[in-house]
Structure 1
Amino acid sequence: MGYRIAVAGATGSVGREVLNILAEREFPADEIAALATSRSQGDEVEYGESGRMLKVQNIENFDPAGWDMAIFAIGSAGSAAHAPRFAAAGCTVIDNASLYRMDPDVPLIVPEVNPEAIDGYRKKNIIANPNCSTAQMVVALKPLHDYAKIKRVVVATYQSVSGAGKAGMDELFEQSRNIFVGDPAVPHKFTKQIAFNVIPHIDDFLDDGSTKEEWKMVVETKKILDPKIKITATCVRVPVFVGHSEAINIEFENEISAAKAKSILRESPGVMLIDKHEDGGYVTPVECVGDYATFISRVREDPTVDSGLSLWCVSDNLRKGAALNAVQIAELLGRRALKKAA
């Protein structure tokens, strides 16, 4: 017996990717509903590559009673408006927005890292999906933390424009085209020109000079992995369409060598280690697009601290950073939680 699952925001980049991944992974769905705002009502979206089309329904009028779960990719305002209604009707919400991530009654889940936390979903019937950059980083950190206990993390991100949605991707394309033909590259979505440039600013600035994106990486990693870990982040938008990269420096309480770290990562769930000390012996964002894995390269010891490592981490942000992680949560929910409740 399968599940009845709704995908809210089905016409957006993440929502479409959710539908693709549900089909790819053969999620046991007896029925799937594609939801969006009234503007998209009646449109059709493809479910995977089978050619099966789903007619988009208006989320405002959708009755969630009798549905098992809903994956939300509609932003914090949409989640605030609809998630409590779905949850109250008995439909468990898996939310991609930031709204509920730091709610103590809402589990924040990366299935390879803290699957046991999902048992707390019953408090509000809502499960939060972490920030895209946090998700891939904690997949890399978890097995190393289990072995040598992480004290401190310093991370610099190189985040693709797809993290800002379709508008971000369109702006990179249009600015690049304009520059080639001699037209001005005027920023609209981003604060400065993104084509052939990098912008050290994602989300709003906070009082301490950090940005909200950097704050998210700090507090979410603590909630998912360990509140004692000290973290500092610098988040940068780069002119890449899909795929987030991270340069991560880690200080440990216990001794760990680069060789041992590679051995651990090679066997870790969700991780693909590609680390050859030669030209091209590492993974770049272009190569990770469409893949499920979090790729790790450039693992090396940091001689400036007693027990330290540096590494390079790359992942498809629309997949592991959003849609894939949400579907993995749905799979975990089906295996671990809904069966318990049945």
Structure 2
Amino acid sequence: MGYKVVVVGATGNVGKEMLSILAEREFPVDEIAALASRKSLGTEVSFGDRTLKTKDLDTFDFTGWDIALFAIGSDATKVYAPKAAAAGCVVIDNSSLYRYDPDVPLVVPEVNAEAVDGYAKKNIIANPNCSTAQMVVALKPLHDRAKIKRVVVSTYQSVSGTGKEAMDELWNQTKGLFVIGQDVAPSVYPKQIAFNVIPHIDVFLDSGDTKEEWKMVAETKKILDPSIKVSATCVRVPVFVGHSESINIETEDFLDWEEATEILREAPGVLVIDKREAGGYMTPVEAAGEDATYVSRIRQDNTIENGLNFWCVSDNLRKGAALNAVQIAEVLGKRCLKKD
């Protein structure tokens, strides 16, 4: 027997990826519903070799459904997730709404799959921020071996993390500047994104950090270890899909870069592409459409006693969002919602 699955926000970038990945991974689906806002009612979306017509989220009855994958913003999630959860449908939420709720598990299956067991407190499981998800997949096996004390990370995040309008803005600005020779004023971002980088993701906090940077700190502590110190600088770059991260870690025990490389080669969800030659590393263009978290440029940081540097790349729409949500559903099914 399979599950009755709902994808909420099925017409968005992440929702479409969720449907695609459910089909790719042959998740045991007996029945599936694609939900969207009323303005998108009847829009067709793909699920494997099937075509689904979206149903109205506002009037949908979640009673009798097993799992709902949510890919809508926090405001809408605040309205509809409690309704689904109250109807007995387990919500796996991609927004930031529930990530910091102590009664809601925040899960990356390669890192803390057992946390799924706590879903029943609210019938909700949170998916982490895209930049956090790929980082903790790489950090976990190193932390198990040498205990990470401190992480300093700089992210280079693609515009797809902001949504379709941001992707359109990058395309239109690039075309306008390069082909037409005309400036296209920014509307999604505060400054031009084409041929530029913007050291600002989400709102600024009183500390001077942005909320995106704060998220990486808080989520890494909740998912991996509350004792880890994290310093993050998050930057938006003119890339359509794929987040990159330059990561520096300081560990309690010495960890040689060669041993770290072997540990990462054996780690679930990680692929090491690290040849010390031109092109011997991963970039976001190559990671787009792939499931893995790629690690390259592994090397010792000799400025501190127990330090390592490495480069981490992943498709933010997949591991950073849709894939992670489907993996959570898989773990939930195996551990908690077993079907005869």
The TM-score range, normalised by the shorter chain, is over 0.9
Aligned to 1:102: 100
2-structure distance, mates of 1:184, 1:299: 40
Aligned to 2:334: 335
Aligned to 2:190: 191
| Matched residue SS, 2:110 | coil
CA RMSD after TM alignment: 0.8
**In the alignment, is residue 26 of structure 1 matched against residue 26 of structure 2?**
yes
Aligned to 2:64: 66
What's the offset of the Cα at 1:182?
1.1
What's the offset of the Cα at 1:44?
1.1
Could you give the per-residue CA deviations for residues 27-72 of structure 1, whole angstroms, max 9, x where no partner exists? 1000010001000111111113x2x110100011000000000000
Could you give the per-residue CA deviations for residues 170-193 of structure 1, whole angstroms, max 9, x where no partner exists? 000000000021111210000100
Could you give the per-residue CA deviations for residues 181-222 of structure 1, whole angstroms, max 9, x where no partner exists? 111121000010000000000000000100000000000000
Aligned to 1:16: 16
Aligned to 2:6: 6
**In the alignment, is residue 258 of structure 1 matched against residue 257 of structure 2?**
yes
Post-superposition, which runs of at least 4 consecutive aligned residues in structure 1 deviate over 2 A?
none
What's the offset of the Cα at 1:133?
0.2
| Matched residue SS, 1:335 | helix
| Matched residue SS, 1:338 | coil
| Matched residue SS, 2:23 | helix
Aligned to 2:55: 57
Could you give the per-residue CA deviations for residues 110-153 of structure 1, whole angstroms, max 9, x where no partner exists? 00000011110000000000000000000000000000000000
Letter in structure 2 aligned against 1:19? L
Aligned to 2:227: 228
**In the alignment, is residue 323 of structure 1 matched against residue 335 of structure 2?**
no
Aligned to 1:219: 218
Structure 1 residues not aligned, in runs of 5+: none
TM-score, scaled relative to structure 1:
0.98
Aligned to 1:243: 242
What's the offset of the Cα at 1:339?
2.1
**In the alignment, is residue 289 of structure 1 matched against residue 300 of structure 2?**
no
| Matched residue SS, 2:52 | strand
Aligned to 1:157: 155
TM-score, scaled relative to structure 2:
0.99
| Matched residue SS, 1:251 | strand
Aligned to 1:39: 39
Letter in structure 2 aligned against 1:81? V
2-structure distance, mates of 1:338, 1:221: 27
Aligned to 1:120: 118
2-structure distance, mates of 1:297, 1:185: 35
2-structure distance, mates of 1:280, 1:16: 32
Could you give the per-residue CA deviations for residues 253-273 of structure 1, whole angstroms, max 9, x where no partner exists? 001000000010000000000
Letter in structure 2 aligned against 1:333? L
Identity of aligned residues (%): 69
Letter in structure 2 aligned against 1:62? F
2-structure distance, mates of 1:273, 1:6: 34
Aligned to 1:132: 130
1-structure distance, mates of 2:21, 2:196: 32
| Matched residue SS, 2:247 | strand
| Matched residue SS, 1:304 | coil
1-structure distance, mates of 2:295, 2:184: 34
2-structure distance, mates of 1:168, 1:310: 31
Letter in structure 2 aligned against 1:253? E
Which stretch has the larger CA shift, 180-189 or 119-128?
180-189
**In the alignment, is residue 166 of structure 1 matched against residue 164 of structure 2?**
yes
Could you give the per-residue CA deviations for residues 285-323 of structure 1, whole angstroms, max 9, x where no partner exists? 000011000000000000011100000000000000000
Structure 2 residues not aligned, in runs of 5+: none
What's the offset of the Cα at 1:78?
1.1
User: Number of paired residues?
Assistant: 339
Aligned to 1:75: 73
2-structure distance, mates of 1:311, 1:163: 22
1-structure distance, mates of 2:184, 2:43: 33
| Matched residue SS, 1:167 | helix
**In the alignment, is residue 272 of structure 1 matched against residue 271 of structure 2?**
yes
1-structure distance, mates of 2:43, 2:236: 32
Letter in structure 2 aligned against 1:82? Y
